[in-house]
Structure 1
Amino acid sequence: MLDIFLQTLPFFLIIGLGYGAGKTGFFNEEATAWLTKFVFYFALSAMIFRFAANLSLSEVFDWRFIFAYLWATGFVYGIATLVAFLRGVSIEEAAIEAQCAVIGNVGFLGLPMLAMLMGEAAIGPVMLMLSVDLIVFSSLIVVLVTGSRDGRMSFAILRTVGLGLLKNPMIVSIVLGLAWSGLSLPIPAPMNDFLTILGAAATPGALFAIGASLASKSAERPFVAGWLSFCKLVLHPGFVALSALYIFPIAAYPAAVMIAAASLPVAGNVYILAQHYGVAPQRVSASILISTAMAVLTVSLVIGWVSALY
């Protein structure tokens, strides 16, 4: 277990470095925003495209895997929503809290970290989970928040969801990469070197950006944020393990990757959505801060446990 902790520690140290740079003002919010944009649209997209272009659709797509992940994630989503309603919050706030409970930092943290710790074979399962998060749950929050404000479903809502997916560089990179692979096109050496160099900036850049963005966040309403962090770090990987190992049993290795990815802290894009819609941004901010701090230990424990499964 100590070995796993020491392997994950460098990733969180880079997050800590970014946090320190942001907290001291050396790296201000504007600089963080531009670094995040570079990573999101260029470095991470290059990494994902290169990974996807070297996979086949048959290696990535697995209905049983999708059902296992959807069932577990939907169940925890439902728990968080029910608890929110019992506290008397609105549909919009309940949707944001449920998003915190199940959407982890799979793109910026999970993809590079799990590929390094669990091997490049982890890339396919992680990208499949990332696709489900983006297509299903990121769309769901738009439908719930916008629908609750309009009082009905409309074509405009579905159009917003569709355009959001088409503009998301992660989805575009996965689709283009798999299409490239499906056409059996070789990656020319200069192009491969270009993607490798640009993609190599994704891991340190993303981790530093996570830390720098945390510097501007505060732990307001820590009780609710603590509950949402518990959902994300404990309940989510717990129900994913139950689903992947017993309810929709899948092979040991992809199950281990799914559980490890589910143990990641709350994703930063949940805060972007909360800020965009003006729904409980401080609550989300606190959830990201608390879950990321706790993840230094919890993620190591989960990865240490799942490493014994395969």
Structure 2
Amino acid sequence: MLAIFLETLPFFALIGLGYAARRTAFFSEEATAYLTRFVFYFALSAMLLRFSATLDIGALFSWDFVWAYLSASALIYALVAGVALARGRPLEEAAFEGQCSVIGNVGFLGIPMLALLMGEAAVGPVMFVLSIDLIVFGSLVVAVVNGARDGRMSLGMLRSIGLGLLKNPMIMSITLGLLWARTGMAIPGPADQFLSILGAAATPGALFAIGASLASKSAERIEVASWLSFAKLVLHPAAIAVAVLFIFDVDNYAGAVMIACASLPVAGNIFILAQHYGVAPQRVSASILVSTVASVVTVSLVIGWLVQV
């Protein structure tokens, strides 16, 4: 367990470095925003495109994998959203609390860390998890919020969801990479080198950006944030583990990667959505902060357990 903790420590140290740089004003809020955009639109997209272009989607795809992740995540989502409704929170807030309980920082933290800790073969399952998060749960929260406000589903809302997915560079990079993989051709040398150099900036850039963005997060409503962090860091991976080990026929390695993905802290993009819609941004912010700090220990415990089993 100590060995796993020491392997994950450099990742969290980079997050800590970004946090310190922002807190000391060495790195401004504007610089943080631009670094995040560089990672999101360029470095991480290059990494995903290069990885997905080498994947055999037919060999990797499994409906058991998809249903295991979807069903277990939906269960935790419904539980947490139900608790929020029982506390008297409106449907929009319940949707965002449910989002916090199942959407982890798979893109910025999961891909680079799990590729190193579990091998490059982990990238395929990680991308499946990322795609489900973005397409299913990312669309769900938008649909619930707009539906609750308008009282109905509208064509404009569906168009907005579709355009949002098309504009997401992670979805587009994975799609383009898989389309290239279908051709059976290798990426031309200069293009591969270009993607490799640009993609290499994703890991340090993403981790530094996470830390810098955390410096502006608030720890208000700590009780709710602690509950949401517990749901994300403990209940979500536990539900995924039950689905993978006892219900669905998921490959052992792919299942282990899925559980590791579920153990990651609350994703930062939920705060962007919460701020955009004006729905509990401080609560989401606190959940990101608390879960990220706690994940220094919990992620090591989960991966250490996965290595042993």
| Superposition TM-score, scaled by structure 2 size | 0.99
Task: After TM superposition, give the deviation of residue 253 of structure 1 in Å.
Answer: 0.7
> How does 1:39-58 map onto structure 2 within 5 Å?
39-58=39-58
Measure, in 2, the Cα distance between the counterparts of 1:221 and 1:303. 29
C-alpha distance after superposition, 1:213-267 (max 9, x if no partner)? 0000110000000000000000000000000110113121111101011000000
Task: After TM superposition, give the deviation of residue 61 of structure 1 in Å.
Answer: 1.7
Task: After TM superposition, give the deviation of residue 308 of structure 1 in Å.
Answer: 2.0
Secondary structure of the structure 2 residue equivalent to 1:250: coil
**Cross-structure match for 1:131:** 131
> How does 1:162-241 map onto structure 2 within 5 Å?
162-241=162-241
**Cross-structure match for 1:266:** 266
C-alpha distance after superposition, 1:151-185 (max 9, x if no partner)? 11110110011000000000000000000000112
Contact 1:32 1:212 in 2 (8 A): yes
Task: State the one-letter code of the partner of 1:11.
Answer: F
**Cross-structure match for 1:108:** 108
Unaligned runs of 5+ in 2: none
> How does 1:150-165 map onto structure 2 within 5 Å?
150-165=150-165
| Aligned pairs, number | 309
**Cross-structure match for 2:4:** 4
Measure, in 2, the Cα distance between the counterparts of 1:251 and 1:63. 11
C-alpha distance after superposition, 1:108-161 (max 9, x if no partner)? 000110001000110110000000000000000000001111111110110011
Task: State the one-letter code of the partner of 1:266.
Answer: V
Task: State the one-letter code of the partner of 1:93.
Answer: E
> How does 1:245-284 map onto structure 2 within 5 Å?
245-284=245-284
Contact 1:60 1:128 in 2 (8 A): no
Unaligned runs of 5+ in 1: none
C-alpha distance after superposition, 1:267-306 (max 9, x if no partner)? 0000000001000000000000000000000000000001
**Cross-structure match for 1:244:** 244
> How does 1:268-307 map onto structure 2 within 5 Å?
268-307=268-307
Task: After TM superposition, give the deviation of residue 76 of structure 1 in Å.
Answer: 0.3
**Cross-structure match for 2:140:** 140
Measure, in 2, the Cα distance between the counterparts of 1:182 and 1:251. 23
Measure, in 2, the Cα distance between the counterparts of 1:218 and 1:60. 40
C-alpha distance after superposition, 1:10-50 (max 9, x if no partner)? 00000000000011111111110000000000000000000
**Cross-structure match for 1:23:** 23
- Which deviates the most, 51-60 or 202-211? 51-60
Task: State the one-letter code of the partner of 1:186.
Answer: A
Measure, in 2, the Cα distance between the counterparts of 1:272 and 1:124. 26
Percent pairwise identity: 67
CA RMSD in angstroms, aligned pairs only: 0.6
Contact 1:59 1:124 in 2 (8 A): no
Task: State the one-letter code of the partner of 1:225.
Answer: A
Secondary structure of the structure 2 residue equivalent to 1:233: helix
**Cross-structure match for 1:79:** 79
| Superposition TM-score, scaled by structure 1 size | 0.99
Secondary structure of the structure 2 residue equivalent to 1:121: helix
Task: After TM superposition, give the deviation of residue 60 of structure 1 in Å.
Answer: 3.1
Task: State the one-letter code of the partner of 1:188.
Answer: P
Task: State the one-letter code of the partner of 2:91.
Answer: I
Secondary structure of the structure 1 residue equivalent to 2:308: coil
Task: After TM superposition, give the deviation of residue 209 of structure 1 in Å.
Answer: 0.2
C-alpha distance after superposition, 1:77-112 (max 9, x if no partner)? 011011000000001100111000100000000011
Measure, in 2, the Cα distance between the counterparts of 1:45 and 1:247. 34
Structure 1 segments (4+ residues) deviating >4 Å: none
Task: After TM superposition, give the deviation of residue 62 of structure 1 in Å.
Answer: 1.1
Measure, in 2, the Cα distance between the counterparts of 1:81 and 1:267. 17
Task: State the one-letter code of the partner of 1:208.
Answer: F
